[in-house]
Structure 1
Amino acid sequence: MPPPSGFRYQERADGTVLITHHGRAAGTLRGGRAARFLAEVTAGDPQLVMARWTGAYKHGNERTARSHPRNRR
């Protein structure tokens, strides 16, 4: 699976962080959560961090789903 892409974040003057994915709002963080996000996004891979914070990341069942009978070809 390719790494996540298309995420952007915008820090607003009131301390709110808006995360978008391909131009559409994916999440809004305020207060302490926004501060933790900003600290983490500067320390790691921004795309992966934003995907994890918005919930749009691998859930661990992709390999199991691939071998399910309806997904076999």
Structure 2
Amino acid sequence: MPRPHGFTYEQRRDGTVVITHQGREASTLRGARAEKFLAEASAGDPQLVMARWTGAYKFGNERMARNHPRNRR
């Protein structure tokens, strides 16, 4: 799977975190969710974390791939 790119985030003074993708707002996090996101982003790959938090991580074809005869166990 290719690595996501184009995500950025901005932490505002009021504690809000705004995640953008290619210059467009993708998600706004506040409170405990913002704190949890910042902890995850600093610990791992921020691009993957932002893709997961915005919902742009999986696009639905995973179910079809799982049911393919080649991938069944």
TM range (shorter): 0.7 to 0.9
Task: Give how far 1:2 is off.
Answer: 1.4
Secondary structure of 1:19's counterpart equals strand
Structure 1 runs, 4 residues or longer, greater than 6 Å off:
none
* Equivalent position of 1:29 in the other structure: 29
Structure 2: gaps spanning 5 or more residues = 66-73
Look up the SS of the partner of 2:15 in the other structure: coil
TM-score by length of 1: 0.81
Between the aligned partners of 1:49 and 1:59, the Cα distance in structure 2 is 16
Quote the RMSD (CA, aligned, Å).
2.2
Q: Which digits, 9 at most, give the CA deviation of each residue in 1:8-61, with x for residues without a partner?
A: 000000000000000000000000000000000000000000000000012452
**Among the aligned pairs, what percent are the same residue?**
74
Structure 1: gaps (5+ residues): 66-73
